[in-house]
Amino acid sequence: MARDPILVVVFLRGGADGLALVAPSSDPDYLAARPEALRVLRKGDGAGRVLRQEVADVDFRFHPAAAAFADLFDAGDLSLIHAAGLPEATRSHFDAEARIERGLFGAAAPPGDPSGWIGRWVQAAAPGGPMPVLAVGAMRPASLLGADAAVAATLDDLILGPGHWLAPALRARLQAGFGEHGPLARPMSDLVGLSDMIGSRLWSGADADPRPYAPAVDYPEGNPVSRPLMTVAQTIKEDLGLRVATVDVPGWDTHVAQADTFARLTRQLSQALMAFWRDLGPLQQDVSLVVMSEFGRRLRSNTGAGTDHGRGNVMLVLGPQAKGERMLGRWPGLANEALEDGADLAVVTDYRAVLAEILTGHMRLADAAPVFPGFTPEPLGFWG
C-alpha cells in the first residue's frame, strides 16, 4: 500500500562549507583562494569523487569524506543545487536560520506572524495520522512554529515513566492538573496522548523496557547522526502517519582548523544518511530528504585555516523521485565580480525554490503559495 509521501529535513547548523562538500575543484579562483587543506583535490589519495555530469566546464567533486554521497549520486538518488540560499543578505547564524525557517520575506511577512514554513505546510495540507510531524531532538526548530509536532530524540522518550509504578497516577495528574486554559494544558495533554500511543506500540507492560528498534542495516557506531536518523526510520516503519521530520546536525561553524573537523562531520553525515537510506529499503519510494544549512562559507580562508560566514551554499535532495544524478540551478562562478560583495559564492537559487518543488512534486501539495507567500518559484526540474 502506498503511503503518503514523507519529507525529512536535515539542517546542518553553523553554516556548512558547500565549497568543500561539492567543490569546483578545477576553478582557478577556487585554487587561488584556499590552501590545499581546505580544497577538494583532483589527484592523490585525498582526491574527491568527480560528479559524472559536467557543469559549466567545472570539475565538481564531492569531498573525499563524502563517498557515500557520491555513491547515492551515481545511483541516481541524489540531486544537487549549488549556489542556493537566502534571498536576503545576512551572515548571522541565528538571523539566517530564523529567516530560512520562517520563510517569510519582505511584504509577504505579515507583522507578528510567527509561523514557520513547515507549520504553514501543516496548516495547508492538514495531515491526519497520530504523529504527522516529528522534530528529532530536544528543541523544536522555528520551521515548525504554527504546527503541532512531537519533539523527541527517540520514541522511547515519549513514554511516561515506563515501568514506574506511579506512572498511572502521574498520567492522571498531568491530564487533569493543568487546568482548561493554562499554557501547559495542551502540551501536557499532548504528552499523555503521545505516551499512550507510542507506549501501546513499543512497550508491553510485561517487559522491563520498551521494544528497541531493530534496523534493517547497521548504522555506523559512534556517529552522532545515526541515532536521530534511526528515530526517523523507526517512526516511518511504525506507520505513525509521519509526513515531515526534522533533524539538526550541529558543529559546521568551522572558523578554525576546518580540514579535520569538516572531514569528520562530512563522513558522519554521509555514512549515517547512507545507512538510513538502505534501512528504508522499499520505503525509499515514499521519502524525500533535503540537506540544507543557513549559509555557505567565505571563498577565501582566514589565517586560522578556517573559513568565515558566507552566502551561497549547496543543497542536497535525496529521493528516487528527485531524478538524481543532476546538478540543478545555475553556477555563477567564483570570479571576483561574480561573488556577492566580492567575497562569497553568490545566491542565484532561492532556497524556497528547492523546498517548493519538493512540496508540490514529492509531497503533492497543489500550490506552494500558502507555504511561501509572495514567492513564485521557477521550476528547477526535479519532478515532472
Partner 1 sequence: MLTRRMLHIRVLAALAAGASWSPRAAGAATSGAATSGAIGPAERLWLDRLTYGATATEAARLSDLGRAAWLERQLSHPVSDPGLEERLAAARLRISYGAGSDEYGNRWRATDELRPLSWLKADPADLVPLQDWGPGKGMDYSERSRPAQEVIAASLIRAVHAEGQLREVMTQFWHDHFNVDSGKDETTTTTFPAYDATLRAHALGNFRVLLGDVARSPAMLYYLNNADSIASPANENYARELLELHTLGAGNYLNDRYSDWRAVPGAQDGLAEGYLDLDVYEVARAFTGWSVGDGRWLVEGEQAPRTGVFHYVARWHDPYQKRILGREFPPNRGPLADGEEVLDILARHPGTARFVCEKIARRLLADDPDPALVARLAQVFLAATEAPDQIAQVVRALVLSPEFDAPPTKLRRPFEVLAAILRAARAEVVSPEIVWHWELARAGWRQHEYGPPTGHPDRLAAWTGASSLNRLVDLALYALEDWWGTARLDLSPLAGPDETLRAFLARHAAGLSAAAADGIAAEIGGIYLGAEGLDGPAQALPDKKRHDAARMAMAFAALTPEFLFR
Given the rule CB under 8 A, which residues bind partner 1? 13, 88-95, 114-115, 123, 135, 137-140, 145-146, 148-153, 157-161, 164, 166, 169-170, 173-174, 177-184, 186-188, 190-191, 194-195, 250-251, 253, 255-256, 300-304, 306, 308-309, 341
User: Residue 164, exposed/middle/buried by CB under 10 A (0-12, 13-18, 19+)?
Assistant: exposed
Question: 188 or 339, CB closer to partner 1?
Answer: 188
CB of 294 to partner 1, least distance (A): 11
Nearest CB to partner 1, comparing residues 27 and 253:
253
- In the complex, the smallest distance separating the C-beta of residue 125 from partner 1, rounded to whole angstroms, is 14
Nearer to partner 1, 115 or 284 (CB): 115
Shorter beta-carbon distance to partner 1: residue 36 or 95: 95
Nearest to partner 1 of 61, 352 (CB atom):
352
CB of 135 to partner 1, least distance (A): 7
Report the residue number, 67 or 167, with the smaller CB distance to partner 1. 167
Written as nine digits, the cell of 300 is: 577565501
Distance CA 289, CA 277 (A): 10
| Residue 21 CA, distance from chain mean position | 15
Q: How far is the CB of 1 from partner 1 (least distance, A)?
A: 28
Residue with smaller CB distance to partner 1, 191 or 346: 191
Smallest separation (angstroms) from partner 1 to the CB of 329: 23
CB of 136 to partner 1, least distance (A): 10
CB closer to partner 1 out of 72 and 292: 292
Ramachandran sector of residue 83 (left: φ over 0; alpha: ψ -120 to 50; beta: rest): left
Give me the least distance between CB of 214 and partner 1, in Å please: 22
Nearest-approach distance from CB 363 to partner 1, in angstroms: 21
